[in-house]
Every structure is written in C-alpha cells, then in structure tokens.
Chains A and B, each alone.
Chain A
C-alpha cells in the first residue's frame, strides 16, 4: 500500500466536496425536526433532486438552473409529505418511508434516458486573496460556490434559530404544538414551511451529487446519503454547527476509504466501502448512549387542533 499517494491537501479539499450533500440535507432536516416533524424521506427527495437537477443541467447546459430546479422538486415532494402528515394526519415514519420509495421509483423513471451522459458542472470559485494562501488556500478557498453556500447556510440557520423571532417560534412549535397553538401560532403553517425548506435542501443536496460530485446520473446514486444525513442530525444533537462537524467527519471517512481503496490498501474493498455505514452506526450508538439530549419534545407527534 502506498500511503504517500494520498495528498492531505487534496484529501481535505475533497472531504469538503464529499461532505456538502450530506451537510445540505442534514441542515434541511434539522430545521424540519426543530419544528417537531420527522421526515424520513430525505433519501427520496435527494435522489429526485439529483435527477431533476441533472436533467435540467444537461438540457439547459446551466448547472445553476439545475440546482434551482432540484430545490423546487425536492420541495414539491416534501409538499406531498407535508399534506399527508400535517393535513391528513398520517403517521410520519410511514409517510417518510413512503416518500423515499416514491422518490426512488420516480428518479429511476425520469433518469432512464440520462444514463451515461455527462453534465455541465459548477466552476470552481477561487476566493480572491484567500485562495492564494499556501496550502490552506487550496484546501478551503478553492471550491465551487455550493460548498461556500452550504457553509453560509449553516451560519444562517444557526443565526435564525438562535436570534430571530421566527427561529424562536419554530423551536416553540417543535417543543409543544399544543402550547404554541394555545398562544395562537399557526402550527401547521409553520411546519409546512419548515418541511418545504427541508425538501429544497434535500433537493439541492441530491443535485450536488449528480452535478458536481460525480457528475453523472446512475440509478440509486445517493446510496443512503439521505439516511446518513438523518443520522447526522441525531449526532449533532439538533445544533447547526455540529451538523457541519458531523458532515465533515463523515465526508472525511468517505474520502479516506476511497483514497485507501485507490492506494491499494490490504483491506478488502467491501470492508472499506461498508466502513462509512459501520462508522455511522458506531457514532449513533455513542451518541445515544449519552442520551438524546436536545431532541425537540414534539418530534414525530401528530398535531390535531381539537376544539
């Protein structure tokens, strides 16, 4: 095995790229869960976002349009989830699973004609001055715009949740929908907005995989990233900055195992490719052994305003 073939600068840089989809999806799900809704359909929305963004990217030649469309598609799928869970009061776990199954079917249906095509991808955006810093410039400041966008979104979500009234109301709804309702807040409307935001984020996350990270369409290409995003929300104890840490740690594991595969490590390839999932399980166990502090109290509970 030739470890010297692994370049730490490239490793960190590609870590950020490989973490971005999970970061976006997990951040969206964080907002959804903060409002007290558990949407297990992240994987389905991601994969649909991946193909929708890819299709528009290929057809228009503009990855930016692709991203915008993917956010729209993700939000549309989440709208279905929202109508079912918020208005028709269906079980959130079952509906989320259903959303994933629908998303997987829908994406492979749309994706058939796009197999094997290359898409236009985002250009790297070298941040002036910062990207000239030796080593760190290449590592952190020489990425495509979505990487910066995702980090900025973390900061934005954090600030909104912590400092703004909207954030306070969102957290309140997630803590106790009955109390929020008694104070006159529109629980269902607030939750719908959160769900739509989560869907859009998942859509963007999917499009990042198909338009930037790979960039190609293959069936089932999200390969469980949506589920890992869900795990990272738990790992992060519902705190935005910890989502960033979690996603980057996970991105690191993924990139490292890919690099080890390439470097010809003496470990079977299958063991390396299953390692991200095993590590996710391990992390979940460690976190849950500590107790799930920070989970919104009304998470997953059905709200029906009686009388």
Chain B
C-alpha cells in the first residue's frame, strides 16, 4: 500500500524537478492524445517544441514570435504570482488586460494624429492605471466587505469583454473604418505604436517591461520586507498579523500590482502585435498566465522560463495545426494538462512516498 509521509523540510530537489517532470508527463500524455487524433506523436511533439526554434523553414518567423507571445504572459504572471504567494486569487487578469488595452488605446487615439513623444509613455501609464483600477474593484470589495476575490475578479472578465465589445463598435471605432467595428490601427500611428526595439527580434517595449518586472519581482521577494510579508500572508495569515502585516495592505498591493502589470500587457499588445481594439482582441493570455505563474513555481526566474515555454507551445501549436492539422484546441488542452501534472507532482516536494506492506489506519 502506498502512503504519504510528510517531510520534515520541503525538498529542494523536487521544487526544481517537478516542472520538468510535469513537462515530460505532459509530452507523453499529449503524444498519446495526438496519436488518438491521428497524428504521429513524435512528429507532433517535435513540431511543437523543436521546429519553432530550430527548423530552418520556420525559425526565422517563429523565434521573434517567442518573445512577442512570452512578453505579456510573463508580465501578467509576475503580477499574479505575488498574489498567489499571498493567498490572493486574482483570476481576472484577462479583464484587467482588456481594460488596460482599452485605456491605453483610448489615450493614444485621443491624441490622434498628433506626433508627440509623450504619447506612448502616457499610453503605458493609462494602460497600467486602467488595469490597476479594474483590479481595485475586487480588492476594495474584499477588504471592505470580505467578498471573495476569485468570483468578483472572474465576473469582471465578462464585464470587461462586454465593455470591449461596446467600445470597439462605439467609442473607439475607427471613424475612417467604413462602418467596420474596431479602432484605428495603432501600428500605423507612429507616436502610439509599440514597435520592436531591435529589428525582427520580437523584442518590443512590452517584452522589455516583462524582463524589468522579473528583475524587480526577484529583488522584492528575496530582499525586501514587502516580499517577505507577501510570503508570510500566504503561508500563515495569523503569523503574518503577528509580524505586523496588515492584510488589507497586502490585498491592495498584490491586486494592484497584478492589475497594473496586466493592464500594461494589454496596452503593449494593442499598440503592438494586435494593432487595434477589436471585439475579439483578447486571446486568453490572462488565463494562460495562471499556468505560467504556477509552472514557474511563483518564482520570478521560473516564470521567465515558464513564459517562454508556454509561448513555445502557442507557436508550436499554430505550426502543428498548420502542418499536421492538429486542432488548435488541442494546445489549450495540452497547456491545461501541464498545470494538472505539475500540481500532481508537487506532492513530492512536501511528502515522501512510502510503500509499506502493512496497512496503517
């Protein structure tokens, strides 16, 4: 009979090993799934994980895409990870991302067609503020009334989607768009465009911000009192209060930072890769970032790599769908499985598996 025995200490080894184990298990089960869908599993796995980076045919296009996709994922996941560490479950990053995009684009379009250099920084500010404000709704409700932030932040995603639909065919609609819904294309408006910093690397301002966020989060969590307080609040709320942590402050800061980062991610996306506000502008980054945060062990450096890996599955998934006819939904499932296997293997961190013949009640 198999029995779990609590370790005296969390295992360092397994903390690092479980993400790799989870990836391998996902590849195996994913391979079986691809086989069931009628594709060669080895080819499918290679197409997803290898070809985007190393195939001569695709790498030139795919490599920059890696950063383009990883940027928003990392930026959002860094914010989410702070909250998750503190036991604050903001799962509405998708909504904060949308509002950030609307505010950022709105700010830019308000200046159209002026060509001032202040426009882009103002847009970043507006995007961050928009996301922050949207995240403040669950924060205020949680602190003031004790309302569950999981449900409120999630409900606000649907509200944000409706707002998006409304502005893309109303307030922000392109007046020269011949009646089609959607805003002006910001990429064709140089003062507001989020352009690549280095040509054909995919490295735009949002990706740079993501890297900066990683560094800041790392310093915050390992060297600063506030990072320590976040961990305290998550691991032992009573001990946190004993240490002088004010729970409401942690809620405001964690949700606020997560909202601002998600909002910025939305703004960089709308001003860059997406180009314009449309009704289906959002593509689920806010939800995938949850997986990224966990896969990265809620650790900034881990999130950096997890974000790149998840971006790879996006690009590889598109490639697999193009080349092998694997449905794109399979990739979504693939990503979900990754989180599941990670959570399943996490048991090794705090428990030892014992095989004993005698049953212990």
Contacts and interface: CB of A to CB of B under 8 A. Distances in A.
A238 B70 CA distance: 41
Given A97-B290, A270-B162, A80 B340 contact: yes
Contacts of A122: none
A230 interface: yes
A93 interface: yes
B145 A288 contact: yes
B86 to A, nearest CB: 13
Given A89-B4, A101-B332, A112-B327, A285 B145 contact: yes
Nearest to B33: A109
Interface string A37-76: 0001000000000000000000000000000000000000
Interface in B120-174: 141, 145-148, 150-152, 154-159, 162-163, 165-166, 170
Contact of A101 (B4, B145, B151, B291): B291
Interface stretch (A152-160, A192-200, A273-281): A273-281
A84 interface: yes
Given A102-B333, A109-B333, A227 B340 contact: no
Contacts, number: 136
Interface string A91-106: 1011101110111111
Contacts of A129: none
Given A105-B336, A304-B6, A88 B154 contact: no
B344 interface: yes
Interface residues of A, number: 49
* Contact residues of B: prevailing secondary structure: helix
Contacts of B334: 105
A7 B53 CA distance: 60
B337 interface: yes
Interface in B66-104: 84, 89, 91
Given A234-B148, A285-B145, A306-B6, A224 B347 contact: no
A97 B158 contact: no
Contacts of B351: 89, 304
Contact of A291 (B146, B339, B344, B350): B146
Interface string B335-350: 1110110011011001
A280 B150 CA distance: 13
B25 interface: no
Contacts of A164: none
B330 interface: yes
A108 interface: yes
A105 B332 contact: yes
B294 interface: yes
B287 interface: yes
A274 B344 contact: no
A98 B151 CA distance: 15
B1 interface: no
A227 B151 contact: yes
A95 B343 contact: yes
Contacts of B150: 40, 93
B329 interface: yes
A80 B340 CA distance: 9
Contacts of A223: 158
Contacts of A292: 146
Contact of A88 (B158, B327, B344): B344
Given A94-B343, A101-B290, A285-B145, A108 B332 contact: yes
Contacts of B333: 102, 105-106, 109
Contact of B336 (A40, A90, A104, A230): A104
Nearest to A223: B158
Contacts of B165: 270
A109 B333 CA distance: 8
Nearest to A96: B150
B280 to A, nearest CB: 12
Given A80-B340, A101-B287, A101-B339, A288 B327 contact: no
A97 B157 CA distance: 15
A111 to B, nearest CB: 8
Contacts of A111: 329
A289 B145 contact: yes
A245 interface: no
A116 interface: no
Contacts of A231: 151, 155
Contact of B343 (A91, A103, A274, A285): A91
B327 A109 contact: yes
10 contacts: A93-B150, A97-B91, A105-B334, A109-B332, A112-B329, A230-B151, A231-B151, A270-B165, A288-B147, A292-B146
Interface of A: 40, 80, 83-84, 88-91, 93-95, 97-99, 101-106, 108-109, 111-112, 219, 223-224, 227-228, 230-231, 234, 268, 270-271, 273-274, 277-278, 280-281, 284-285, 288-289, 291-292, 304, 306
Cβ-closest 5 pairs across A and B:
A105-B333, A105-B332, A102-B336, A108-B329, A274-B162
